[in-house]
């Protein structure tokens, strides 16, 4: 209860900055974003990755092709949606 009370008593300005977590370098930030996005069943659009990071997914993380080659992920032609297959989600 004390933890919740302390949290609720914070001033609004205190919520503007995180006081926990870890700083990620740009490469780790890309990997984290992809991992979190892939764990959503809908996956993500490669165009969203490119807009966010200003680079191509295949250039930054070429090892993701191994997931596609192994049948664990797919990239939909036309839409560029990258997602895990049922086997990949398993």
> Each residue of 28-68: pLDDT tens digit?
999 999 999 999 989 999 999 999 999 999 999 999 999 99
State the chain's maximal CA–CA distance in angstroms.
Answer: 52
Residue with the bigger pLDDT between 15 and 61: it is 61
- Count of Cβ atoms closer than 10 Å to residue 44 Cβ: 19
Q: Which of 73, 6, 7, 11 is nearest to 41 (CA)?
A: 73
Choice between 89 and 14, residue whose per-residue pLDDT is larger: 89
Task: Compute the distance between CA of residue 89 and CA of residue 38 in angstroms, rounded to an integer.
Answer: 9
Measured distance CA(5)–CA(2) in Å, rounded: 5
pLDDT above 90 (res 6) = no
Predicted local distance difference test score (pLDDT) of residue 25: 94
Inform me whether the pLDDT recorded for 19 exceeds 80: no
How many whole angstroms separate alpha carbon 28 and alpha carbon 26? Answer: 6
pLDDT at 21: 80
What is residue 83's predicted lDDT score, i.e. its pLDDT?
A: 97
Output the average pLDDT for the chain. 93
The Cβ of residue 49 has, within 10 Å, a number of other Cβ atoms equal to 22
């Amino acid at each position: 209860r004390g933890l919740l009370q302390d949290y609720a008593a914070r001033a609004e300005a205190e919520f503007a900055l995180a006081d926990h977590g870890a700083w990620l370098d740009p490469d780790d930030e890309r990997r984290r974003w992809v991992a979190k996005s892939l764990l959503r069943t809908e996956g993500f659009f490669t165009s969203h990755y490119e807009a966010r990071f200003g680079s191509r997914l295949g250039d930054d993380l070429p090892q993701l092709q191994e997931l596609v080659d192994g049948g664990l992920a797919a990239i939909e032609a036309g839409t560029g949606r990258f997602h895990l297959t049922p086997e990949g989600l398993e």
